Structure 1
């Protein structure tokens, strides 16, 4: 009886390992793509003096996607990343601002 229960669990684990290997290669590609986004955004900032909103939003979505792959690979979730789930939506950009930290009397950027 115990062998019957372990067989599906082993098949599930083997399938997950296959997905993890596949997402490892997707991670490698996405990492290079993120580097290109960073360089493009840096060039846009140097040339135009401001960031490109579309590139900024794509960079945020891509970084969230990489986080989803990491969560799946480290067994923090059973939800497989895109294309098995929705592509992450970009979040609003945080602007750099001065925030007063209570308790230490200082100001922290």
Structure 2
């Protein structure tokens, strides 16, 4: 009887060990590729964000010069700076793991505008 219990215990232990090993291997293989892709994308968008920040700075400088010369804001530059600011915000949200939605070019440029603007019933689209 005790031999049979030992065999049952060994069988159960072997089954549990196989299950644990297969679960660990499944998590390990899925974990590595997803995390590595996310880290690569975060680094890529960090670089894109850095370059975009320089463009944003140039637009601000041009707007300042325009205001000194004409005394008024350029509406087109103001609008463009606002769009760049929204884009930089979406990059920061993605890079800091606040959202899983990849910024442009992986979604449309105006996708955030569609979310924020209410429809005729006053509800967000």
Same fold (TM over 0.5): yes
What's the counterpart of residue 79 of structure 2? 57
Gaps of 5+ in 2: 1-22, 114-125
Per-residue CA distance 1:5-59 (angstroms, 9 max, x = gap): 3311221110011111111111111111011000011011111111111111110
- State the number of aligned residues: 91
Structure 2: distance between partners of 1:89 and 1:72: 14
TM-score, length of structure 1 as denominator length: 0.76
In structure 2, relative to structure 1, the CA distance for the partners of 1:28 and 1:86 (3 Å cut) is same
Residue 61 of structure 2 corresponds to 39
- Superimposed CA distance per residue, residues 57-90 of structure 1 (whole angstroms, 9 cap, x where no aligned partner): 1100101111111100111000001101122489
Gaps of 5+ in 1: 92-109
Cα RMSD, aligned residues only: 1.8
Larger CA deviation: 52-61 vs 2-11: 2-11
